[in-house]
């Protein structure tokens, strides 16, 4: 493998969502890895560099916004995207603390999802 492909970590407790996200991003030039909960996601981040994290909001253990806040503090180079059905329910201070690069509505729009991750990978 000539050049290392950027790593995109997808976090969701619903396997079907992870599979669907993989399908959408199949043709994109990333290495896709997944985690089923925030703890697993943090373990992955400790083991290897990740360019972009795309996380669901409602998960057992910790919420997506809490996970992204931790990541912002510990891995500031990793871009953070929140994928949630209820963006309006996330309070402004929480959003600021997690310093989100993007917040996407679930169900997502395929083109918008791809575009957002491309932008994060490039930026």
Partner 1 sequence: MSRQAEPTRLLLLAPPPAAHEPRGPAAEALLPLGFAIELCHELRAARAALAAGAAALVVADLRIEGALAWLRELRDAAAAPPVLALVRGDNEAVAAFRAGAWECVDQSALARELASAASALREHAQRARARTVAGDPQAGAASEVVRHMNSALVVLDRAGNVTFANPIAAQLLGAEAEKLVGRSFGRWFPGVARSQLPVQRTLERGDRVRGAEAMVAREDGRAIPIGLSASPLRSARGEPDGAIVIFQDLSDTKQLESQLLQREKMASIGQLAAGVAHEINNPMGFIHANLSQLREYLEDFARVWERVAVLRKVALGAGGEVRAAAESAEALIAEVDAEFLLRDFGTAVSESLEGAQRIRAIVQDLRSFSHRDTGERVHADVNKALDSTANIVWTMMKHSVGLSKSYAELPPILCFPMQLQQVFMNLLMNAYQAIEERRGQDGAPGEIRLRTELANGGVRVAVSDNGIGMEPEVQRRVFDPFFTTKEVGIGTGLGLSTSYQIARRHGGRLSFESERGVGTTFCLWLPLDDESGA
Give the chain's end-to-end CA distance (angstroms, integer): 23
Of 45 and 102, nearer to partner 1 (C-beta) is 102
Site for partner 1, residues 66 to 85, rule: CB under 8 A: 85
Q: Are 56 and 42 in contact (CB under 8 A)?
A: no
Of 57 and 78, nearer to partner 1 (C-beta) is 57
Q: Are 19 and 10 in contact (CB under 8 A)?
A: no
Contacting residue, 2, 46, 77, 92, with partner 1 by CB under 8 A: 92
Q: Are 98 and 80 in contact (CB under 8 A)?
A: yes
Stretch that binds partner 1, among 15-23, 33-41, 44-52, 64-72 (CB under 8 A): 15-23
């Amino acid at each position: 493998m000539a050049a290392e492909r950027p790593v995109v970590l997808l976090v969701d407790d619903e396997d079907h969502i992870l599979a669907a996200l993989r399908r959408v991003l199949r043709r994109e030039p990333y290495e896709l890895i997944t985690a089923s909960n925030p703890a697993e996601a943090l373990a992955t981040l400790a083991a290897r560099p990740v360019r972009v994290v795309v996380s669901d909001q409602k998960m057992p253990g910790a919420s997506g916004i809490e996970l992204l806040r931790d990541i912002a503090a510990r891995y500031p180079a990793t871009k953070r995207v929140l994928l949630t059905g209820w963006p309006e329910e996330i309070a402004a201070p929480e959003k600021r603390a997690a310093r989100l690069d993007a917040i996407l509505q679930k169900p997502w729009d395929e083109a918008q999802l791809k575009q957002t991750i491309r932008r994060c990978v490039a930026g």
